[in-house]
Amino acid sequence: MTHPLRLRQPLLCLCLAAALGATASGTLAQSAPPYMNGGIGAGEQASIKATAADYNLQLLFSQGGSGEYISDVKLDITDSAGKTVFSLPAAGPMTNVKLPPGKYQLNAVYNGQAQTRQLTLGAQPSKLSLRWNDGPK
């Protein structure tokens, strides 16, 4: 006769593994703030603009006197404690992020040129345009 505990052991292990897996993936999903990034074509721009009100930080990256949109901006945002809360290796030209209200530092690097901004975000959208100088001709 099979002992009832022997049948329950594998089932218990499966339940525990599933619970731990759900917790781990839930934690990862909660740690990344919602964002939209892109805007190269007209369709992407329209999509990002249509949902812009859902994000309290709206960024636009451009270059030089022409104001030409740029991408491939390395973007890092840290909170008041210095902890990185958002990072994107190739942001732009439009990047919208939803962060909890608070104080942040934004660091953006394009073609080796860095820009830093201090931000205070609330529930309402804040728009920020960053423009880089034209590179050498």
- Helix or strand or coil: residue 4? helix
Could you tell me if 136 and 112 are in contact, meaning their C-beta atoms sit under 8 angstroms apart? no
Domain range for 42: 35-132
- In tens digits, what is the pLDDT along the chain, a chain of 137 residues? 555 545 445 444 433 333 333 333 223 335 789 999 999 999 999 999 999 999 999 999 999 888 999 999 999 999 999 999 999 999 999 999 999 999 999 999 999 999 999 999 999 999 999 999 986 55
Could you tell me if 59 and 70 are in contact, meaning their C-beta atoms sit under 8 angstroms apart? no
Residue 67 sits in a domain whose CATH number is: 2.60.40.10
Q: For residue 83, is it within any domain?
A: yes
Q: For residue 20, is it within any domain?
A: no
Q: For residue 27, is it within any domain?
A: no
Structure-block tokens of residue 69: 């949109």
Q: State the total domains in the chain.
A: 1
Q: For residue 85, is it within any domain?
A: yes
> pTM of the full predicted structure?
0.75
Q: How far is CA 122 from CA 33, 79, 96, 105, in A?
A: 15, 14, 14, 14
How far does the chain reach from its first CA to its final CA, in angstroms? 85
Q: For residue 121, is it within any domain?
A: yes
Tell me the CB-side half-sphere exposure of residue 83, using CA atoms within 13 A: 5
